[in-house]
Chains A and B, each alone.
Chain A
């Protein structure tokens, strides 16, 4: 009981704010769910494979070309690097794509011909005012839309082995430089290195040396027994996490670039777990095409810039035979020697920080061997400019007139060419002889510094990926799944509504309204968080519908009981809701625990099921306890009720 209450509310009435809150939540949920009723338009998507903006002029011209081809278009829009032309008739999509692809192929400007990608898309037909407010419909999962999916695994073992090799080289070089004699330095398991010494004295000196001149990312422990003196180096938890994270990040970036280049509408590239990446390509129907996108070709090189010759001269076509003309990220041309001074594989780490004057700087660490090369080369070139060159090889496959890939008899793509993209990510003057660890300073922003550090680090990481799972789902199966899912939800829903009305009369009507609101709220919440709707997700919605009535059943049965025990109708309603509350809470919390665990451990479809179940539990608790109570209060509250229709 609450003491000190001065004003007693009549039984079964809510204060006005509570009604308003319920109304407010329902309206918000309704608006969030609204975009889902408009369906989708078949559209042609025009995008730039490097993520550069698309000009409105290009989209207007393609739109005109499609119209000239006798195809009706609904509208077009340009948004950043993507342009969309919506079609009136879905059957025209292929022909429209052919026209668009031919238009781009025959474009007079080479940069448009090379960089523009044409793809078919299903675009949400949400009205512009709603979309402008940031409200979008639920995305359909691959099983409902059709397409290809891949589960890729990054080969972390290879990375750890590399890290181990680096450690071994560094340990050996350091010991050699300090004239500490060792018996052996060997890898042990995947994450540690073991060094053996003849005497305790050597072991101690080595420990002191390697501990201060720290071997970054490793812990050192000493161990002596039976006249054996050993040092054991283990990769730290932080370092191994860092290795994983960077390998994943780098692969995701590469994959995103590749996928943009082939033009897929709304692709999904996402990390999953410690070392997996999930790729979903809606609309693509064959895994061979998608497989060819995967495969890493980024390399990093340290080279000297050729400052003896004039860049202007090179720009006019006279490039010295030993050099090549490259461009920096901001587009400035630079002449670079072809000879590679140091391979990027020697980079062990890179980070950004600020120097003494507070200017951003990039810190680079090399392995032992890299350090020696750098020391010698930089010593010879003090005062010269060193360039860091990033190279990416992109294969080009044969396409047909629709812009689709052509395959040979074995089912593989036909590679006709490859495009090599080279970029100078950094050019800086060498001030002094550099060692294993050095820094780059200059006039740049902290953002630039951290981006460059990431590029250096990821460019140096060779992380092979392989496919552990892939699959295709035909577009007709996707459509069939949507229809079946919707139909079964509808039928199940109607059966429950009829039953509740039959069993609980007025209260049943209340429960049904609560159930409808619940469905709207689930869809609203899922649209808001951008959840992807899958077939198991639909099953999850349906299951919550079945279970959502449970809370109301509990309450109504309790009310009936209270009435049988001789309570007045008003008191029965009050007691019914009160007594059922802790039961409902307990029951739902335990189910929520199960759903949470499913979400945490499960992947793909299971996670989709879990998330709908989880939100279903939350929204159904709200609608059953607060929502239905508000309605019951409005109907029966504050009146002298003789009989309840329950």
Chain B
């Protein structure tokens, strides 16, 4: 059973799909932004638990009556668990805030207990925004340098294009769905970078090998061949990773929902992008056999010694 799908002959369709996804993501990011969590915006989150199912409207009412305005009240997994997010400038000193909130909640129902509370100063939020962005940038640059060293600058550009593609679309997904974007989601996006890269490198590695091995054949033929050869591996790895991510999503609890969703979307997009975006970009940049010839082709595996 040897597959021979001419992937890159359809690259125009892929370009259109990617373009649409990126434009939608970009537009949504620009227009709606992200529903950033407390980690980034600063403020206080209080998670409470009720003994019996509860409705949100009276809770909002109770908070308003006690001068706790501007909060977001949401269910957290079940109709017993509620989170209340209040902005930093709610008007009550932070020290007493959770006390005030609990007092306000008790005016509506007595069967409420505090489960978790966190306060993040706005300064930390700002810093995280900057550091998070910086982390992404530094990661991209380091990876590009490494790929350029091990392969070729056209591949480096291709891999980073694929990464940017994945990151924008995953962030866009969070913007469109307005799922809360917190620190764990940022971690997930960085993990997506690692994952998507992993995929891309495996494909590139095979392209390099085939460029050196296949005497005949155009660049596009060599690339198609390589993609087919690595296809089963790409799909199986994505599948096993998805299996554990789905387990995480269903059984891991609310706190890491965002994390697992980001990774599930990321793995799907990453699999697609390592086939189409990374290879198509390298192809568009005009990768040829000569680019990958080691300066002195002496012995097999010469390019591997650097690592050992």
> Footprint of B on A, CB under 8 Å?
1, 143, 151, 153, 287-288, 291, 410-412, 467-474, 476-477, 480-481, 484-485, 487-489, 491-493, 495-496, 499-500, 503, 535-536, 539, 542-543, 545-547, 549-550, 553-554, 557, 561, 564, 579, 581-583, 585-591, 593-595, 597-598, 601-602, 604-606, 609-610, 613
Closest A-B pairs by Cβ, 4 of them: A471-B118, A492-B244, A492-B247, A546-B241
Nearest chain-A residue to B150 (Cβ)? Answer: A586
Interface of B is mostly: helix
A584 → B minimal CB distance (Å): 9
A542 contacts B247, CB within 8 Å? yes
Inside 8 A of B243's CB, which chain A residues have their CB? 492, 495-496, 499, 546
B267 → A minimal CB distance (Å): 9
Render B95-120 as a binary contact track against A, CB cut-off 8 A, 1 for contact: 11011000000000000011111111
A553 contacts B117, CB within 8 Å? no
**B37 CB-CB contact with A under 8 Å:** no
B159 → A minimal CB distance (Å): 8
A639→B118 CA distance, assembly (Å): 62
Inside 8 A of B124's CB, which chain A residues have their CB? 151, 468-469
B241 contacts A543, CB within 8 Å? yes
Inside 8 A of A589's CB, which chain B residues have their CB? 146, 307
Partner of B190, one of A412, A491, A594: A594
A503 contacts B236, CB within 8 Å? yes
B147 contacts A547, CB within 8 Å? no
Render B289-303 as a binary contact track against A, CB cut-off 8 A, 1 for contact: 000000000010101
A590→B194 CA distance, assembly (Å): 7
**B212 CB-CB contact with A under 8 Å:** no
**B191 CB-CB contact with A under 8 Å:** yes
A590 contacts B197, CB within 8 Å? yes
Nearest chain-A residue to B151 (Cβ)? Answer: A586
Inside 8 A of B118's CB, which chain A residues have their CB? 469-472
Inside 8 A of A473's CB, which chain B residues have their CB? 115-116
Nearest chain-A residue to B122 (Cβ)? Answer: A468
Q: Which of B9-17, B57-65, B134-142, B173-181 contacts A (4 or more CB under 8 A)?
A: B134-142
A399 → B minimal CB distance (Å): 20
> Footprint of A on B, CB under 8 Å?
2, 47, 94-96, 98-99, 113-121, 123-124, 131, 134-135, 138-139, 142-143, 146-147, 150, 183-184, 186-187, 190-191, 193-195, 197-199, 201-202, 205-206, 209, 229-230, 232-233, 236-237, 239-248, 250-253, 255-256, 259-260, 263, 299, 301, 303-304, 307
A491 contacts B202, CB within 8 Å? no
Nearest chain-A residue to B231 (Cβ)? Answer: A557
Q: List 12 A-B contacts (CB under 8 A).
A: A153-B123, A469-B120, A470-B119, A474-B115, A546-B241, A582-B301, A587-B201, A588-B198, A590-B146, A594-B194, A597-B142, A598-B139
B116 contacts A536, CB within 8 Å? no
Known contacts A553-B240, A590-B146, A597-B139; A606/B116 CB under 8 A: no
Inside 8 A of A597's CB, which chain B residues have their CB? 135, 138-139, 142, 190
Known contacts A291-B95, A539-B256, A547-B237; A469/B119 CB under 8 A: yes
A606→B259 CA distance, assembly (Å): 11
B53 → A minimal CB distance (Å): 18
A471 contacts B205, CB within 8 Å? no
Known contacts A410-B99, A591-B195, A593-B143; A582/B247 CB under 8 A: no
B240 contacts A536, CB within 8 Å? no
Partner of A495, one of B99, B236, B244: B244
Inside 8 A of B117's CB, which chain A residues have their CB? 287, 471-472
A479 → B minimal CB distance (Å): 11
Inside 8 A of B255's CB, which chain A residues have their CB? 143, 481, 535
Known contacts A469-B124, A535-B256, A546-B245; A590/B99 CB under 8 A: no
Inside 8 A of A469's CB, which chain B residues have their CB? 118-121, 124
A550 contacts B237, CB within 8 Å? yes
Partner of B191, one of A1, A561, A613: A613
